[in-house]
Amino acid sequence: EVQLVESGGGLVQPGRSLKLSCAASGFTFSDYYMAWVRQAPTKGLEWVASISYDGGGTYYRDSVKGRFTISRDNAKSSLYLQMDSLRSEDTATYYCTTAIAAIWSYWGQGVMVTVSS
Amino acid sequence: DIVLTQSPATLSVTPGESVSLSCRASQGISSSIHWYQQKSNESPRLLIKYVSQSISGIPSRFSGSGSGTDFTLIINRVESEDFSVYYCQQSYNLPYTFGAGTKLELK
């Protein structure tokens, strides 16, 4: 059974940093691109970033480019999102997803990030 | 960025009815459109990929159609477990984008 378990969320002040983690199991992690998708409270879904099988390719939406860094450790079957210079508009539930051709088949339960003073 | 416009925003139906949910793209996206269901307080779930390709474990009452810029998710004979929000998503171009969603609610 595929499992994706996010962690690392919480309340953080504007301008500070937070690192999200996603532990994957039940599939061969290195066979999949991975991605982070977020959802602000009561809002729709928004793609944040994607990473290739070996981490050699990374892709970001413009609003997080230069502030967020997606990475992975295939030996640990883990995905990460380093979030720096956080803004109030980054407040959302962040989902870890498997990605094949930018189609997100499996999703974690999500982790909440609140950016507020 | 490719904008996906979903309509209607809310659809009120009675169980047993069949419904069509629309998704219109701001430019041609070939067949790179996918549909997700999100129940209240749950993670999204992939329903349909590439317009009409079925996904393992998804009931056969869910189907998709369309081409170019206009796409439709069809739910044949809605069941009580189907009341949720449905999103379309394009994988044609970065940034990947979603529609704003259609909420299917009980009439």
Encode pLDDT of A32-63 as tens digits: 999 999 999 999 999 999 999 999 999 999 99
Encode pLDDT of B68-84 as tens digits: 999 999 999 999 999 99
Q: Mean pLDDT of all residues in chain B?
A: 97
If you count them, how many residues does chain A have? 117
Are residues B38 and B83 in contact, defined by beta-carbon separation less than 8 angstroms? no
- Report the C-alpha gap between A81 and B15 in whole angstroms: 41
Among the listed residues B40, B101, B39, B42, the one whose alpha carbon sits nearest the alpha carbon of residue B73: B101
Encode pLDDT of A55-108 as tens digits: 999 999 999 999 999 999 999 999 999 999 999 999 999 999 998 888 999 999
Compute the CA torsion angle A58, A62, A68, A73 (nearest 10 deg): -20
**Residue A101: predicted pLDDT:** 87
Task: Out of A105, A108, A110, name the one closest to residue B46 (CB).
Answer: A105
Please, is A69 exposed, middle or buried when counting C-beta atoms within 10 Å of its C-beta (0-12, 13-18, 19+)? Answer: middle
Percent of chain B clearing pLDDT 70 (strictly above): 100
Task: Out of A46, A95, A101, name the one closest to residue B43 (CB).
Answer: A95
Residue A45 and residue B98: Cβ atoms within 8 Å? yes
Residue B91 and residue A95: Cβ atoms within 8 Å? no
Tell me: pLDDT of B22 over 90: yes
Nearest Cα of chain B lies from the Cα of A82 at a distance, in angstroms, of 19
Q: Mean pLDDT of all residues in chain A?
A: 97
Among the listed residues B104, B58, B60, the one whose alpha carbon sits nearest the alpha carbon of residue B82: B104
**Residue A100: predicted pLDDT:** 87
Question: How many Cα atoms within 13 Å fall on the side-chain side of residue B82?
Answer: 28
Contacting residues for A116 by C-beta, under 8 A, at least 6 apart:
A11, A13, A14, A88, A91
Which residue of A100, A103, A106 is the best one to mutate when testing the B interface, meaning the one whose CB has the most B CBs within 10 A?
A103
- Residue A56 tokens read as 């050699």
Tell me: pLDDT of B41 over 90: yes
Task: Out of A47, A109, A110, name the one closest to residue B96 (CB).
Answer: A47
Mean pLDDT of B23-39: 97
Q: Quick one: three-class SS letters along A8-37?
A: CCEEECCCCCEEEEEEEECCCHHHCEEEEE
Chain B residues close to A103, C-beta within 8 Å:
34, 46, 49, 89, 91
- Residue A82 tokens read as 């380093």
Which residue of B32, B37, B96, B102 is the best one to mutate when testing the A interface, meaning the one whose CB has the most A CBs within 10 A?
B96
**Residue B75: predicted pLDDT:** 98
Tell me: pLDDT of B30 over 90: yes
Interface of B with A in 23-62 (CB under 8 A): 34, 36, 38, 43-46, 49, 55
- The sign of the torsion formed by the CA atoms of B68, B88, A104, A92 equals positive
